[in-house]
Amino acid sequence: MARYKLTIEYDGTPYRGWQRQPDVPSVQEHLENALASFTQQRIETFVAGRTDAGVHARGQVVHCDLADTPDPFTVMQALNFYLREETICIVDTAQVEDSFNARTSATRREYLYHIINRRAPLALERDRAWHVIEPLDIEAMRAGAALLLGTHDFTSYRAAECQAKSPIRTLDRIDIAQENDRIYLHFAARSFLHHMVRNIVGTLRLVGGGKWQPKQVQEALEAHDRTAAGPTAAAHGLTLMHVSY
């Protein structure tokens, strides 16, 4: 038995998220079906971050155990062959120690949220960015984002159905960059709560649009109440970029 680390890229548009669910397509289902076709065995996979429906990934990480020990390149090529009809591909494969765990061994996760801020609708990127019509004040958004850095109780910024045992998280990075009508929000932390990034982005949109003052981002944080923060940003603007170990 050998353990493999798979780095995966996918367009999440056709899927109901990472996790296998009955009667709906998921990334996990298609990956495990590809593994079954390759090995002729039922293989269970374990993931660094369970992305929601419509969320994308450039650097998702999965581990699995194979009874035989094919070389990593063969594993990658075989899985990509069986995934050729899907918007999922394996971009790297490595054999790792049995102690490696895609979720618990991770030391940092990085997400990118993409907003296109213009009046005209989206044609090419309608499933890859959040379309926001009203002009956004980037400096105000940066001021609000800065108030969330560090270790806090993020109850106000997690989904009501979040199953994490603790709402305490340490947010290491929120960088906001603008290129013409494109706004990129870069997030980094060891781990995130369910919907945490999207709820922060939805709140920062209120700040950027002038509906909130930056200080209200901190006031919402200190309320420890999901209803105190802003709405949840669209799933399709979010991409899991990288997981560090």
Q: Which residues are the active-site residues?
A: 52
In this structure, what is the dihedral angle of CA atoms 13, 18, 23, 25, given to the nearest 10 degrees? 40
| N- to C-terminal Cα separation, the chain | 22
C-alpha to C-alpha distance for 153 and 193, rounded to whole angstroms: 11
User: How does strand 168-179 pair with strand 88-96?
Assistant: unpaired
Q: Identify the bridge partners of residue 182 per DSSP, sorted by sequence position.
A: 116, 179
The Cα–Cα gap between 188 and 171 comes to 6
Q: Is 19 in contact with 26 (CB distance < 8 Å)?
A: yes
Q: Decide if 238 contacts 111 (C-beta within 8 A).
A: yes
> Across-strand partners of 153?
168
Q: By the 8 A CB rule, do 127 and 238 touch?
A: no
